[in-house]
C-alpha cells in the first residue's frame, strides 16, 4: 500500500466518528473482545508499553499534549495517540511530536490487513474492527516497535468499552466531564462519569479535576473500590501550578502567565495554551507526570516548566492571522464554548465576527447562546465532515436567539465574509468544531499537508 491506499483501506471500515457505516449492534463485550483479538494477532504490542491513559469530555487532548511535552522535556521518548486529526490522519500517532511517516503508516496497515482478515475468519460473530480500532492497533504497535518510554493514550469515547481500555496504565487521568454523546454514554452526568471511570484500574493512581458532585461521587467510588489512589487537582492550594490571571499577547500570540511552585523552587512561565480551563488541564498534566514514578523519570520543576511552555496543540485559541485577528478554537460543547467566550473577553474585548459550524448531534442552540454575547454577527457554515450540521439549521438556531447570521456552504467562504466585515482592526473567531477549525487553518495556508477530502467521507466497503 501507498499512503492514499492506506487511507482508503482504513476508511473502508465502519467509523462512528464520521457517522459513516456504523451499524454495529453487537454486545459491547464483543466489540471489546474484537480489539483484544486484533492485538493478539500482532503480538499484543500494548503489553510492552508504559501508558498514561486520558479520558474526559473537555480538555483531554490538551491535557494529553501537555503531559507528553512534560515527559519529553525529561529526555523520554514519548508516543502520543489522539483523535480526531486536524489535517492528516498521521497526526493521531506521534513520537516526540513527530507524526508517523506516510510510508510507515502505509506499511503497517498493509501488514495489519492480514491480521484483520485472520480475525474475520476466527471470530466471525464479532464483526470487522472499526476504523478507530484499527488505528488504535497501529498506534500501539508503532509505539512498541519505536521503543517509546511512555505512551500517552487519549480515549476516543467514554472509557469502559473504548478500544484503548485494553491497557494497564501507569496513571489514569479524567479531565472535565459534561453531557456528551448521550445516545451512547447515557444522558446523565452519573452515567457518563461511570463510563469515563472505567479506565481506572486496580491500585493504579488516577488524577482528576473538580467535577460536578454527581460525577465526582462516581469517580471516587470506582477509585475506592479498586484501591486506586485518587488525586483531585485544581488551582491555588490544590495544585503546584497557579496563574496571576494575566492572559495577553506574547510575541503576537496568545499567552498566559503561570507560576509553578514545587520542591521549594518557583518558576514563572508563559503557557501558549490559554484560559482558566487550560490552567486546570495543565494542573492535571503536572499531577499525572509526577505520578509516573521515579523508575520512569525524575520529573523536576524545570522539566514541567519547559514542557508546559513548549506544548504545541493547534486550534486551541490559536491566532492564525493578523489584520484582522483570526482566532480558531476547537470548542465543540456548550461548556467549552463558554470557556472560549471568557478567554475571548480577556484577549479581544468588543464584538467579534463569529464563524460557526458544528456537528449535527451537538446542542448548537446552547453553544450559540454561550458565545452570542461576544458576537456582532454569525457566519454559519458546514465543514466537510459527514456529520456536519447543515448551515440552514444553524441559521435557524441563530435566529431563535436573536443573533444576526448569514449562511455559507463552506468554512472558507464564511471566513472570507467575516474577514471583510471585521476590517483590519477587528477580530474573527472560528469555533464550534475541530473540523471547522481545521478548515479555517487550511484556508489560512497553515496546513503543510491535507489528506484527500474524498477519503474523509468515504463510504465503508466492509
Domains of the chain: 3-310 (3.40.1190.10), 318-445 (3.90.190.20)
What pLDDT score does 124 carry? 87
Whether the predicted pLDDT of 310 surpasses 90: yes
pLDDT tens-digit profile of 143-196? 999 999 999 999 999 999 999 999 999 999 999 998 877 677 888 999 999 999
Q: Which residues are bridge partners to 429 per DSSP?
A: 327, 354
Q: Which residues are bridge partners to 405 per DSSP?
A: 378
Q: Which of 243-252, 279-288, 316-325 has the lowest mean pLDDT?
A: 243-252
Q: 456 falls in which pLDDT band (50, 70, 90)?
A: low
Q: 252 falls in which pLDDT band (50, 70, 90)?
A: confident
Rounded-to-integer distance, Cα 266 and Cα 327, Å: 32
Question: Beta strand pairing status for 405-407 and 253-262?
Answer: unpaired
- Cβ 49 vs Cβ 410: under 8 Å: no
- Cβ 226 vs Cβ 199: under 8 Å: no
* Residue 410 CB coordination number (10 Å): 16
| Mean pLDDT over the full length of the chain | 91
What pLDDT score does 460 carry? 61
Rounded-to-integer distance, Cα 181 and Cα 414, Å: 28
- Mean pLDDT for 47-61 is 97
- Mean pLDDT for 229-256 is 78
What pLDDT score does 22 carry? 59
Q: Is the pTM of this model over 0.75?
A: yes
What pLDDT score does 454 carry? 58
E strand intervals along 49-149: 51-55, 78-81, 93-95, 98-99
User: 44 or 294: whose pLDDT is higher?
Assistant: 44
Percent of the chain residues topping a pLDDT of 90: 75
Q: Which of 250, 239, 315 is nearest to 280 (CA)?
A: 239
- Cβ 436 vs Cβ 357: under 8 Å: yes
What pLDDT score does 24 carry? 47
Written as one string, the DSSP assignment of 431-454 is ES-HHHHHHHHHHTT--S----HH
What pLDDT score does 126 carry? 84
pLDDT tens-digit profile of 6-43? 999 999 998 888 777 655 455 455 567 899 999 999 99
What pLDDT score does 230 carry? 97
Torsion of CA 148, 149, 155, 160, to 10 degrees: 120
Q: Which of 17-21, 142-146, 231-235, 453-457 has the lowest mean pLDDT?
A: 453-457
- Cβ 218 vs Cβ 284: under 8 Å: no
| Distance (Å) of CA 164 to CA 36, 157, 417 | 10, 10, 42
Q: Which of 108-122, 126-140, 215-229, 447-461 has the lowest mean pLDDT?
A: 447-461
- Cβ 65 vs Cβ 175: under 8 Å: no
- Mean pLDDT for 194-214 is 97
- Cβ 204 vs Cβ 84: under 8 Å: no
What pLDDT score does 459 carry? 55
Instruction: Name every residue whose Cβ is closer than 8 Å to that of residue 260 and which is 6 or more positions away in sequence.
Output: 240, 241, 266, 267, 269, 286, 301, 304, 305, 308
User: 105 or 237: whose pLDDT is higher?
Assistant: 105
pLDDT tens-digit profile of 62-90? 999 999 999 999 999 999 999 999 999 99
Coil, helix or strand for 321? strand
Whether the predicted pLDDT of 245 surpasses 60: no
Amino acid at each position: 500500500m501507498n499512503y492514499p491506499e492506506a487511507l482508503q483501506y482504513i476508511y473502508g471500515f465502519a467509523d462512528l466518528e464520521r457517522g459513516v457505516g456504523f451499524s454495529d449492534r453487537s454486545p459491547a463485550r464483543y466489540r471489546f473482545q474484537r480489539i483484544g483479538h486484533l492485538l493478539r494477532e500482532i503480538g499484543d504490542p500494548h503489553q510492552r508499553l508504559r501508558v498514561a491513559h486520558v479520558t474526559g469530555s473537555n480538555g483531554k487532548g490538551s491535557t494529553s499534549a501537555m503531559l507528553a511535552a512534560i515527559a519529553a522535556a525529561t529526555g523520554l521518548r514519548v508516543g502520543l495517540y489522539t483523535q480526531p486529526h486536524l489535517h492528516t490522519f498521521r497526526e493521531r500517532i506521534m513520537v516526540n511530536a513527530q507524526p508517523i511517516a506516510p510510508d510507515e503508516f502505509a506499511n503497517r496497515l498493509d501488514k495489519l490487513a492480514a491480521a484483520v482478515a485472520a480475525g474475520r475468519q476466527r471470530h466471525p460473530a464479532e464483526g470487522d474492527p472499526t476504523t478507530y480500532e484499527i488505528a488504535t492497533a497501529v498506534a500501539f504497535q508503532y509505539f512498541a516497535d519505536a521503543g517509546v518510554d511512555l505512551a500517552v493514550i487519549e480515549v476516543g469515547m467514554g472509557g469502559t468499552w473504548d478500544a484503548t481500555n485494553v491497557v494497564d496504565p501507569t496513571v489514569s487521568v479524567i479531565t472535565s466531564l459534561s453531557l456528551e454523546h448521550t445516545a451512547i454514554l447515557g444522558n446523565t452526568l452519573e452515567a457518563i462519569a461511570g463510563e469515563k471511570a472505567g479506565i481506572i484500574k486496580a491500585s493504579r493512581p488516577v488524577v482528576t479535576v473538580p467535577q460536578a458532585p454527581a460525577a465526582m461521587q462516581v469517580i471516587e467510588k470506582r477509585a475506592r473500590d479498586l484501591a486506586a489512589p485518587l488525586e483531585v487537582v485544581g488551582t491555588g492550594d490544590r495544585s503546584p501550578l497557579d496563574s496571576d490571571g494575566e492572559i495577553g499577547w506574547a510575541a503576537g500570540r496568545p499567552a498566559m502567565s503561570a507560576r509553578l511552585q514545587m520542591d521549594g523552587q518557583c518558576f514563572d512561565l508563559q503557557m501558549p495554551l490559554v484560559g482558566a480551563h487550560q490552567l486546570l488541564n495543565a494542573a492535571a498534566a503536572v499531577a499525572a507526570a509526577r505520578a509516573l514514578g521515579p523508575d520512569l523519570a525524575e520529573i523536576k520543576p524545570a522539566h514541567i516548566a519547559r514542557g508546559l511552555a513548549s506544548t504545541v496543540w493547534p486550534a486551541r485559541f490559536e491566532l492564525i492571522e493578523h489584520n484582522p485577528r483570526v482566532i480558531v478554537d476547537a470548542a465543540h460543547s456548550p461548556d467549552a464554548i463558554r470557556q472560549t467566550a471568557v478567554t475571548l473577553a480577556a484577549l479581544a474585548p468588543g464584538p467579534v465576527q463569529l464563524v460557526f459550524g458544528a456537528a449535527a448531534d451537538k446542542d448548537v442552540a446552547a453553544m450559540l447562546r454561550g458565545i452570542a454575547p461576544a458576537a456582532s454577527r454569525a457566519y454559519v457554515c458546514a465543514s466537510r465532515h459527514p456529520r456536519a450540521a447543515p448551515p440552514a439549521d444553524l441559521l435557524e438556531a441563530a435566529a431563535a436567539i436573536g443573533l444576526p447570521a448569514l449562511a455559507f456552504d463552506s468554512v472558507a467562504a464564511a471566513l472570507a465574509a467575516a474577514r471583510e466585515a471585521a476590517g483590519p482592526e477587528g477580530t474573527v473567531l472560528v469555533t464550534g468544531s475541530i473540523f471547522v477549525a481545521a478548515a479555517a487553518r487550511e484556508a489560512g495556508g497553515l496546513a503543510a499537508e491535507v489528506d484527500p477530502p474524498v477519503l474523509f467521507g468515504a463510504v465503508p466497503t466492509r
